[in-house]
Structure 1
Amino acid sequence: MKVVKGWNRFSLIQQIIVGIIIGAILGMVVPSWSAIGVLGELFIGALKAIAPLLVFFLIIESLSKHKKGTKTHMKTVFVLYILATLVAAFTAVLACYLFPVNLVLPDAFTGQEAPDDLAGILTGILTNAVSNPVRALMEGEYLAILFWASLIGFSLRTVGESTKKMVSDLSAAISRVVQIIIRFAPFGIIGLVYNSVAEVGVSGLAEYSKIILLVVGTMLVVSFIVYPLMVFVMLRQNPFPLTIYTMKESGIPAFFTRSSAVNIPINMKLSEKLGLNKESYAISIPLGATANSGGAAITISIMTLSAAHTLGMEIPFTLAFLLCLLSAISATGVSGIAGGSLLLIPLACSLFNISNDIAMQVVGIGFVIGVIQDSVETAVNSASDLLFTAVAEFYDLKKAGKPVDVNQRVKEAIASKDA
């Protein structure tokens, strides 16, 4: 019991780091003990089983909460959130073309082919999308899950609040199940890393550093180049003081909490210090915790395209562009739990005809690199929630003939002595 209590005092990140070290050591010392690899198979199997249900109910819950006919001044914020997520996904696809990376997929085989004409792509998407929803949940056919969940979610907008609460409770319960499974991630990581080291050696494990650099590097480019460029186009002012302020004050806390939802109170206080309209940020900040997911779109796009590259697929630009759209859409439904974006990778992989078994191996790799990836992803998402909430309000004021000196607002916020 003392060992268990001592283990539980470590954070999940620390436990995963320990799991990586133990798995690597066992893979080098006792590569013939294949039973250790069962831990990884059990972990991936559990995620593979619950992921379709999680995606299904998250999408339904998200869409059912929208109240038909609601009038708000959130149009600019919402457009910025969706546009930022789409641009982030596109940047990730471009990064994959410039710096292709092979993943460590011991059970994969090369030579798979992706559809190469737009008509074939669209036909496949439409055909798969309308397949039997029960079978889709059983077999993990994510395009069909996305389609039917969207229809059901839109249909539930007009039903009673009690029905919506039931859906929300089911979604919360499934999310809780996923959280329980993820608590066993360190043990699953031991098995996954053991299998990788035992089968491909330490050199294969070193490949993880390449995918980490690609994912984190892309997120930094989006945060400090792409997003500031969007801000400049909107406001025609120097974007970096506001960008750096949001990343420092919001991104750093989010890096350690690894939860955009937990960071909502921080972003609300920072919005107040920036002098923003409370009626606006009281809605946009909580909304951004789910709808603004540029970091998640980057993770989904890069991991999926890297899997396709590893399998020897020749990906046409049209298909990669569709991945941008799919990643942007799916990222807005990412669960608030740690590693939530990883569970949507199979959805993107389905566009490339990549089997669910291979997709779940990619998810396993995501958990290995998640020690760094998930923290940076959350920082990007949370900081941009605050950034685009401010930009949207400043842009609307500019259009109304009431321009704002953004740099002065930032200076006043920094000078503020409020906690």
Structure 2
Amino acid sequence: MKFLKKLENQTLIAIIFGLLVGYFFPGASTYHSVLGDLFITLLKMVMIPLVLLTLFHSLLNLTKQQDIFKQLGFGIFVYYLATSVLASFNGLLMANIFSFGGSFETEKVSGLSSLAPKDIVLSFFSKNLFKSLVEGDLVPLIVFTITFAVFVGKSTKNKDRLIEIVDVLTDAIQKLTEFIIKFTPVGVFSLVAVLFNKLDFDKYSEMGSFFMATGIGMSIHAFIILPLILWVTTKFSPLRFFLQVREAVLVAFFSQSSSATMPVTMRVLEENAQVEEKVYGVSVPIGATLNMDGAAFYHAILIMFMASLSGIQLGFGEQIVLLLLTQVSSAGAAGIPNGGLMMMSMMLSIVGIPAEMIALYIIVDRFWDLPITAVNVWGDLIGAKVLDSKLKNSSDKAHI
């Protein structure tokens, strides 16, 4: 059956069976929990090399596209970074407003330690990279990778050879990850069954609060923040623009893929919104991989929710670090096989949330993946219109 050949359908069936086994045979977790533990261990095994190599590979390839900077300057990156930061901040704000509480009966773990402003800055750098690798301290490793990639991009000596080596290594680690991901249904079955045993059913209202906070927050970003940016920068009617490009938003919603929606996104921008090809030809491909407003919002609010359920309270300093980390996790997910799962595993590890919580992410992600993708593409569309307006205004001024 075609239905059973798709990994997402296999995972859905595994979730259902996991819930049933967790409910009717709670004692069986003693026997099958090893499957979930093994799956988590394999994810952790590839997590660091996968994240660092993919990030390094993407940045190196970006440095080769000098025409991007010549055409649009840093405007495209400023827009994407600004909207992504706003989305993450919105997620954290919603989490604090709704004051997520309650807990699963899991061992209470200490996540990010309470950080003073000085500690926040220092936590992004490592005295010993090898020690950070061994301890799985990803934050300074990510900072080093970004910095190193920038300076490698400025170098000319043997850079192409290094890029070829990184291409091979990145391809190899992604193929290994794809192999591990094939066992997702088995791991998910075990993790869901184990997690179900630890659910405090008196706290189900917390899940309702999470869904309400996520829905409200995502609506604010999609229907207020992004349209406001469009109107302020271009004076163009957000409603009129949405009607022009609504086909791309709907395709993104149902396809759950920013990349698969790209042809439609480009077509509606050119035919309906009169955006020039030299703008959308650059902004849309980059946006489909780097501009993930919906994911940035979702990662921030979901991590806060899972931390609260795990008995971990994140203070102001830790939330600042989380806001910055969600920029990496949301953008990095696009270039990684089953990227959402891998980046969420990374975030759980950094914050100190029990690894078994990944099962909760897998369950709720099936619902939220549709609106998240739509918001991602909606942000790309507005970004292209904003940059096109900026370019046309600059051109008009040059002819005066």
TM tier, shorter chain? 0.7 to 0.9
Q: Deviations over 1:380-412 (max 9, x none)?
A: 21232122112210233245548xxxxxxxxxx
Aligned residues: 389
Cα separation, 2, equivalents of 1:30 and 1:120: 46
For the aligned residue pairs, the C-alpha RMSD in angstroms reads 2.9
- 8 Å CA contact 1:114–1:314 kept in 2: the answer is no
2:94 alignment partner in structure 1: 95
Moved more, 305-314 or 280-289: 305-314
Does residue 1:156 correspond to 2:152, yes or no?
yes
1:272 alignment partner in structure 2: 270
1:73 alignment partner in structure 2: 71
Alignment of 1:278-289 (within 5 A): 278-289=277-288
Cα separation, 1, equivalents of 2:70 and 2:364: 40
Relative to structure 1, the CA distance from residue 148 to residue 59 in structure 2 (aligned partners, 3 Å threshold; closer, same or farther) is same
Alignment of 1:50-89 (within 5 A): 50-65=46-61, 66-67=63-64, 70=67, 71-75=69-73, 76-89=75-88
User: Secondary structure of 1:88's partner?
Assistant: helix
What is the letter of the counterpart of residue 24 of structure 1?
Answer: L
2:226 alignment partner in structure 1: 227
1:380 alignment partner in structure 2: 375
Relative to structure 1, the CA distance from residue 265 to residue 220 in structure 2 (aligned partners, 3 Å threshold; closer, same or farther) is same
Relative to structure 1, the CA distance from residue 375 to residue 178 in structure 2 (aligned partners, 3 Å threshold; closer, same or farther) is farther
Deviation at 1:97, TM superposition (A): 0.6
Instruction: Give identity over the alignment, percent.
Output: 24
| Structure 1 runs (4+) greater than 4 angstroms displaced | 68-71, 102-106, 110-113, 201-210, 311-314, 346-351, 399-402
Relative to structure 1, the CA distance from residue 107 to residue 26 in structure 2 (aligned partners, 3 Å threshold; closer, same or farther) is same
User: Secondary structure of 1:334's partner?
Assistant: helix
1:412 alignment partner in structure 2: none
Deviation at 1:52, TM superposition (A): 1.1
Deviation at 1:287, TM superposition (A): 0.8
Q: Deviations over 1:78-103 (max 9, x none)?
A: 22111111111111111111113358
Deviation at 1:242, TM superposition (A): 1.7
Relative to structure 1, the CA distance from residue 53 to residue 242 in structure 2 (aligned partners, 3 Å threshold; closer, same or farther) is same
Q: Deviations over 1:218-247 (max 9, x none)?
A: 22321111111111111223212323544x
Moved more, 163-172 or 219-228: 163-172
Alignment of 1:289-308 (within 5 A): 289-308=288-307
Does residue 1:24 correspond to 2:45, yes or no?
no
Relative to structure 1, the CA distance from residue 30 to residue 315 in structure 2 (aligned partners, 3 Å threshold; closer, same or farther) is closer
Q: 2:356 aligns with which of 341, 361, 379?
A: 361
Q: Deviations over 1:266-310 (max 9, x none)?
A: 222222213222122111111112221112211221122223333
What is the letter of the counterpart of residue 271 of structure 1?
Answer: L
Cα separation, 2, equivalents of 1:164 and 1:112: 36
Indicate the structure with greater helix content. Answer: 2
Moved more, 330-339 or 89-98: 330-339
Relative to structure 1, the CA distance from residue 156 to residue 15 in structure 2 (aligned partners, 3 Å threshold; closer, same or farther) is same
What is the letter of the counterpart of residue 59 of structure 1?
Answer: L
Cα separation, 1, equivalents of 2:213 and 2:7: 23
Q: Deviations over 1:352-374 (max 9, x none)?
A: xx33xx35334332122121223
Q: Deviations over 1:20-64 (max 9, x none)?
A: 211111111111112233332222222122111111011101221
TM-score normalised by the chain length of structure 1: 0.82
Relative to structure 1, the CA distance from residue 138 to residue 306 in structure 2 (aligned partners, 3 Å threshold; closer, same or farther) is same
Moved more, 75-84 or 222-231: 75-84
Cα separation, 2, equivalents of 1:48 and 1:166: 23
- 8 Å CA contact 2:292–2:330 kept in 1: the answer is yes
Moved more, 38-47 or 50-59: 38-47
Deviation at 1:319, TM superposition (A): 3.7
Alignment of 1:388-407 (within 5 A): 388-398=383-393, 400-401=395-396
Unpaired runs of 5+ residues, structure 2, are none
- 8 Å CA contact 1:255–1:379 kept in 2: the answer is yes
Alignment of 1:107-256 (within 5 A): 107-109=106-108, 114-123=113-122, 125-126=123-124, 129-157=125-153, 158=155, 159-200=158-199, 208=207, 210-243=209-242, 245-246=244-245, 248-256=246-254
- 8 Å CA contact 1:345–1:359 kept in 2: the answer is no
What is the letter of the counterpart of residue 53 of structure 1?
Answer: P
- 8 Å CA contact 2:54–2:336 kept in 1: the answer is no
Deviation at 1:203, TM superposition (A): 5.8
- 8 Å CA contact 2:310–2:354 kept in 1: the answer is no
What is the letter of the counterpart of residue 148 of structure 1?
Answer: F
Deviation at 1:194, TM superposition (A): 0.7
Relative to structure 1, the CA distance from residue 308 to residue 121 in structure 2 (aligned partners, 3 Å threshold; closer, same or farther) is farther
What is the letter of the counterpart of residue 52 of structure 1?
Answer: I
- 8 Å CA contact 1:130–1:144 kept in 2: the answer is yes
What is the letter of the counterpart of residue 231 of structure 2?
Answer: F
